[in-house]
Structure 1
């Protein structure tokens, strides 16, 4: 039994006339009559009583009509679902981010825009280090990830530049420089720095150390912290000072002050990574919205930026 047989049967049953059903279906009346007869032989039951004015469904035909309509509706529903999935309107998107990326307003804005445009797509957000996110991307457990690019291997990945933002000093509230609006980075040369370990966030670690070196000093390594919120908390507790991406200053904590850095080299990059070979519609849709949000970005990179 084929779906076309069900469509022919339903049309004849609803019209009560083979000629009118044929016109509705856009086929000839003799071929339709032959198809109905062949369908009856296949099922082994009579579906219609023939009358002088048309046809009337038999008991078997009336029972079949209910199920036939349901089957045709289910088939149409399945087709529409497949088409929506093919357009990236359904399914699931796994999105990763580093702790520092979560604070950036562009990231939040993009996630809101995507959810608004594709409400039928489930979104799972996962936090991790750049190394962890890249491993999950490579294994197919992650679709996209916001990260600080660094010197990792990005073989098989595409990096889309999201933003470059200034670094800010985070100081204990009682620090002599805490009430200043802007300070030279060299003013922290004698301070102990609370830093995220390089293995946890190579790019951010290197950007902080590199900015200090550009300012003429090597930062004094003090207490280490596993993530940026911990960095801020340890600074508040008096363990030292640190540098964080400017967007992190939205994280308000008792006992700390965020101060702008005068040095032009004190900056941090943020990127969106995807698999180079991933042509899925849901990823393409996310990237398309990203381009709308940010304007056309620079050409994607396939090497570290």
Structure 2
């Protein structure tokens, strides 16, 4: 009974609140339109309109059904867009996740270039942790994620590539004894309280904190954890902890936080930001996106 044509007829009556104007709008006679609406009401089991000689108004059920009709047609448009992916990735849609720290350089750079080259691809972009991205990629809620790589060894359903790398630096309360130095070593932070990216949500960043401190000769005392970049910086600003963060986050200026370079060996302070996607994802818009990313990666 329900189909797109009937829903468009219903929407026309609901928006015009006049059968004559609605009939002209959808290109049929007024009598067949009225009969179609009556059949729709019979199918649903409740009146959608209150009619009299002077006016047509929506019932409460009609108002609810109107919102659902809009959604129905929106889903239809999405289905059509996805079908049009076969044109080669120049139109369609792409859903992307990204870690918060990538929002301060890596993500805007890539998204900006992709939009310039493929302006007709509808992008949906969501900030989320690495772990949440992995789950949503496997659940087919995302097409691609910008996250911490390499991926865990058990992620056999996903492919990945390195996009960019960054270097860790120290974030200190502005009143900290080391805050005015140009550089410090990790060993200088041996007795400090750390705020770490939560192991449950950002496992790679949490593991790297443990690893680099171990290389420096100590185990960090982690008193605070957070999944979000802003919260980590906020806890440092409050004077509760120090943190190791990607150096691109120094653009996240906070009057009560100082960013200090670490003088330790560069290699073990590097952080890798990569892209991940499902191996079986045939979305041509994804293929176009990855080609742009490969050109920008280093």
Same fold (TM over 0.5): yes
Deviation at 1:280, TM superposition (A): 2.1
Mapped pair 1:267 → 2:274? no
What pairs up with 1:71-220 in 2 under 5 angstroms? 85-103=86-104, 105-149=105-149, 152=152, 153-220=154-221
Equivalent pairs, count: 216
Shift of the 186–141 alpha-carbon distance from structure 1 to 2, 3 Å rule, reads same
**Alpha-carbon separation, structure 2, partners of 1:150 and 1:213:** 20
Residue 207 of structure 1 contacts residue 267 of structure 1 at CA under 8 Å; is this kept in 2?
A: no
SS at match of 2:100: coil
Name whichever of 119-128 and 150-159 sits farther off: 150-159
Deviation at 1:260, TM superposition (A): 0.6
Deviation at 1:151, TM superposition (A): 5.7
**Alpha-carbon separation, structure 1, partners of 2:277 and 2:209:** 26
| Candidates 282, 285, 299, aligned match of 2:285 | 282
**Alpha-carbon separation, structure 2, partners of 1:189 and 1:237:** 20
Stretches of structure 1 that go unaligned for 5 or more consecutive residues are: 1-80, 296-305
Shift of the 201–117 alpha-carbon distance from structure 1 to 2, 3 Å rule, reads same
TM-score (norm 2): 0.68
SS at match of 1:278: coil
**Alpha-carbon separation, structure 2, partners of 1:131 and 1:186:** 30
Residue 143 of structure 1 contacts residue 283 of structure 1 at CA under 8 Å; is this kept in 2?
A: yes
Residue 85 of structure 2 contacts residue 92 of structure 2 at CA under 8 Å; is this kept in 1?
A: no
TM-score (norm 1): 0.67
**Alpha-carbon separation, structure 1, partners of 2:83 and 2:227:** 43
**Alpha-carbon separation, structure 2, partners of 1:278 and 1:84:** 12
Larger Rg: 1
**Alpha-carbon separation, structure 2, partners of 1:177 and 1:270:** 29
Shift of the 83–279 alpha-carbon distance from structure 1 to 2, 3 Å rule, reads closer
**Alpha-carbon separation, structure 1, partners of 2:290 and 2:191:** 44
CA deviation map 1:124-171 (0-9, x unaligned): 111112121111111111000000136633211111101221101000
